[in-house]
Amino acid sequence: MQLSVVGPRPGKSSTQLPSPKSAAGWLRNYYLTRAVVSAAWIAAAVTAARGHHQIAGFLLIAYPAWDAVANAFDAQSNGGLQRNPTQTLNLVISTITVGAVAIALEFSMNAVIGVFAVWAVLAGLLQLATAVRRWKTYGAQWVMVLSGAQSALAGAFMATVAIGAHEPDITAIAPYAGFGAFYFLLSAIWLTVSNARHRDVIPPDNLAA
């Protein structure tokens, strides 16, 4: 993702991109927010949702819905949907997943886990692609690359659970959400440390300029 601000061409409008410094700070806060929300979802899934089908159903629909909102906000805060095709496609896929989960809930949890399996693979690959695009601008994206790859692997594992004879419950998704929370938190920490190190190596004359 290019974050250098380029002036609009005559007669054409363009969305101004944030400066690298402010964008890096925003991205750190974005990762942190996603980690907190994922952790809260896990807590609700393993406590309030156990044995309560309505709460579980709400959480299962809310998970991809939150991902869609987060990707939309991410894209809009970094130049718009057209400049961020991987986030835009992730938004579309997560939105479709919301409807697919709602339909699958009418059948069985195996069907729901199957939907999550497909979504985890696609979302993971798109997350990996987003991290690769951002690598040159931000650095500290190796964690998100690992997260995207792990998400795809988790999707493959959930597929095996979905076709199993035993009907799973919402806690089958908790490990997937847990890894997501961990990687987002680690990315926020790593990006903070990376930015701090970058500031430390700036010559004093440049700081005073």
CB 71 within 8 A of CB 90: yes
- Statement: residue 3 has pLDDT above 80: no
What average pLDDT does this structure show over 134-160? Answer: 81
Q: Is the pTM of this model over 0.75?
A: yes
**Alpha-carbon gap, residue 47 to 171, rounded angstroms:** 10
Measured over the CA atoms of residue 105, residue 55, residue 127 and residue 74, the dihedral's sign is positive
pLDDT, tens digit, 9 for 90 and up, residues 88-131: 999 999 999 999 999 999 999 999 999 999 999 999 999 888 88
User: In which band, very low, low, confident or very high, does the pLDDT at 21 lie, cut at 50, 70 and 90?
Assistant: low
Q: For residue 81, what are its two tokens? A: 């949907």
- Statement: residue 6 has pLDDT above 80: no
Q: Which amino acid is at 198?
A: H
